[in-house]
Structure 1
Amino acid sequence: MEQTIRDILIAGELKVNGSLWLEHNGKRFFGPGPVELLERIAETGSIKQAAKAMGMSYKKSWDLITNLNNLSEKPFVITSTGGEKGGGSTISEEARQMIAYHRQLRLRFREFLEQETARLK
């Protein structure tokens, strides 16, 4: 008779867990961090404010944006300089589509994790 995971481990709550991101050529490029940064840029119109709200350095935010923009056919973040309001940033429709895709992917992933956790009981 095959042992269950519960038989192997000491008593306690078991849960299957994980994180989810997309990779391009073996390197992470789109996950919770970039999603949050893009959403905050959309909300604030500012890369600097978005990074600050996340506790992320301005340099790191630019590194993420540069990486995203370099991997996409069209830029995810569009910046403008000067003007009456001093410029700002917006996200593209492609960025919005990636955010929506990632949200749906996370829902399916969470369902998978919940199903696997239920199998442990």
Structure 2
Amino acid sequence: MTRTHHPRPQLQLRLVAERDIVLGPGKIALLEAIEHHGSIAAACREMHLSYKKAWQLLETMGRHFDTPLVDTCSGGSQRGGATLTPLARELIVHYRALLQRLDAAPESEALRAMLRPLNTPTPPDR
């Protein structure tokens, strides 16, 4: 029988402060989507996320930093838009770098190696 190993399992990194998840994979993805589209609404469409939920995530992040993460301008007769502040861009860079280092750490590989291969029966309860 050929043993199929898991596709490379991914670690997730979250920064928690005062019971809030300040940064995590979803919030970083939201910031990156805003950066890519120049719009919170367009980021929401790409992520299949409600506009209200996106604002809740942005407000949660914003409570924990001294400066805003997103600059917005109203739509009016012209289309509105959103851009990331330098702080938000810096957060993304540090988050991605830390995740990359964590993913490459020998301890991460050791944890992955301990996983039961796919397509093997679950051990019975003891």
TM-score range, shorter chain: 0.7 to 0.9
TM-score for both structures, normalised by structure 1: 0.77
Structure 2 CA distance for partners of 1:106 and 1:40, relative to 1, 3 Å: same
Which ranges in structure 1 are unaligned for 5 or more consecutive residues? 1-10
Q: Are the aligned partners of 1:16 and 1:114 in contact in 2 as well (CA < 8 Å)? A: no
Query: What is the aligned partner in structure 2 of residue 41 from structure 1?
Result: 34
Query: What is the aligned partner in structure 2 of residue 114 from structure 1?
Result: 109
Give the Cα separation in 2 of the matches to 1:117 and 1:84.
Answer: 53
Q: Does 1:92 align with 2:85?
A: yes
Query: What is the aligned partner in structure 1 of residue 59 from structure 2?
Result: 66
Secondary structure at 1:98 match in 2: helix
RMSD: 2.5
Structure 2 CA distance for partners of 1:82 and 1:59, relative to 1, 3 Å: closer
Query: What is the aligned partner in structure 2 of residue 3 from structure 1?
Result: none
Matched pairs, number: 110
Query: What is the aligned partner in structure 2 of residue 31 from structure 1?
Result: 24
Taking every aligned residue pair, what percent have the same amino acid on both sides?
A: 33
Give the Cα separation in 2 of the matches to 1:16 and 1:49.
Answer: 30
Instruction: Give the alignment of 1:11-26 within 5 angstroms.
Output: 13=5, 18-26=11-19
Q: Identify which of 27, 44, 52 aligns with 2:45.
A: 52
Structure 2 CA distance for partners of 1:95 and 1:13, relative to 1, 3 Å: same
Which ranges in structure 2 are unaligned for 5 or more consecutive residues? 116-126
